[in-house]
Amino acid sequence: MSEKKPNSNTDQVDNVLLVEIDGPVATLTMNRPAKRNAMCDALLEQIDKFFSYPPEGVRAVILTGTEGHFCSGLDLSEHVQRDAEGTMRHSRNWHRVMDQIQRSGLPVISAMYGAVIGGGLELAASTHVRIAEPSTIFQLPEGRRGIFVGGGATVRIGRILGADRMCEMMLTGRKFNSKEGFALGLTHYDVEAGEALPMARKLAQKIAKNASLSNYMMIQAISRISDMSQADGLFTESLAAAVSQTSADAEEGLKAFLEKRTPVFR
């Protein structure tokens, strides 16, 4: 079904993000086809609202775009002239929303095709599982526009590619196709045309069957541990293990294994 977002001003704003809920899986479709689903403030706001107040019962999310494109980045046609402080605050808002996607506690899968460019790549990099079709193009063209990334690329994409590779990618404006993106880690699955969304649904249903606490711990702990020293990371891992392995779901998981059946988690 399609769920209308709360606190929206107009149908036009509502329609920039289509939300469909199928059991425990929500599919968010960026819906600005005339702009190759370029990110505008209204679309960013709708994504933020969803992850701030996810519908009850949703345990996994698919993020995709409409009419052949994922997201072509920031909509430069709606560019607003800002001073240094305004630009910094705008960038920090992007950081906040990308953090919300990455750490809301819901596993998020990107089903990608067509443009995954600039802010679109920053958006994809904030998700946990990424699937790309052959039409996918990865690019960071900010250098050709006389600007610098501001949606978290230096952290998320830089950690995927490494600082050296990302610098070269930005300096040259080069494009990577789906196979190159797979080899570099920009996507986890390189699939045939028309297969990204079906695979995303299959994986989302599978992930939704995990214990929600285990999913939450994986999302919250792993990325943070990568920022820590080895000693701090190992201690944090022990804390996460202690919380998850003493839960009711852990008890059910062990019982189901011994009884040779599928576990039924809360």
Distance CA 204, CA 210 (A): 10
Identified catalytic residue from 3, 67, 122, 252: 122
Only one residue has tokens 């067509």, namely 114
The count of C-alpha atoms lying within 13 angstroms of the C-alpha of 112, restricted to the half-sphere facing its C-beta, is 33
**Of residues 159, 201, 192, the one with CA closest to residue 62:** 201
What residue spans of 53-210 are helical by DSSP H? 84-103, 119-125, 153-161, 163-172, 178-184, 196-208
- The DSSP code for 53 is S
Answer whether 109's CB lies under 8 Å from 131's CB.
Answer: yes
- The DSSP code for 52 is H
**Of residues 22, 28, 80, the one with CA closest to residue 49:** 28
Q: CA torsion, points 179, 185, 188, 190, in degrees to nearest 10?
A: 0
Catalytic site includes residue 122: yes
Distance CA 200, CA 229 (A): 34
Identified catalytic residue from 3, 67, 142, 251: 142
Catalytic site includes residue 142: yes
Give the residue numbers marked as catalytic: 122, 142
